[in-house]
Homo-oligomer: A and B are copies of this chain.
Amino acid sequence: MAATKKKLSIVSFSGDFDKVIAVFTLATGAAAVGYEVNLFFTFWGLNTIKLKKGRAPLGKGILDRVFNFLMGGFGNLPLSRLNFLGASPHLMTYMMKKNNVATLAELVQAAKDLKVNFYACEMAMLILGVKKEDLIPEVKEVLGVAKFLENSEGGEVLFI
């Protein structure tokens, strides 16, 4: 135990703004004190690591486009609790700035700088019609469950 690096792995399932903030707060906080951190983005969490919103339409069919609509992309994440037509995430970002707390964009940047590992879930990408080239270049690998479990072995694992 003492010899190995501490490890935190998070399955980032939710696309809600507040939960994504939680993911990156935990990730950067852990990385800052020397943890190896693995983020495994799946389902709506894939939004967080998508390149652009509405630019290149994912997939080809109509159903792919419906899911594309459901998956807004980073910068358009709803709030899990109350949304008020999209006002709340902006409100929360404003509160974060006002109270001198890192915003989501800053947290994501910090995660990159701190060498947090970004992984994308193979199966969710298949279901939702997301391709590797739709994701930010920081995504290290597209993985299945078995590989993710192997990577996270011996550390803490959270599902958010």
Contacts and interface: CB of A to CB of B under 8 A. Distances in A.
A92 B127 contact: yes
A131 to B, nearest CB: 12
Nearest to A27: B145
Majority SS of interface residues in chain A? Answer: helix
B149 A95 contact: no
* Chain A: number of interface residues, binned into ranges: 35 or more
A42 to B, nearest CB: 7
Question: Which of A28, A29, A35, A44 counts the most B-chain CB atoms under 10 A from its CB?
Answer: A29
Interface of A: 1, 6, 8, 11, 13, 15, 18-19, 22, 25-26, 28-30, 32-33, 35, 42-44, 63, 66-67, 70, 81-82, 88, 91-92, 94-96, 98-101, 123, 126-129, 144-146, 149-150, 152-154, 156-160
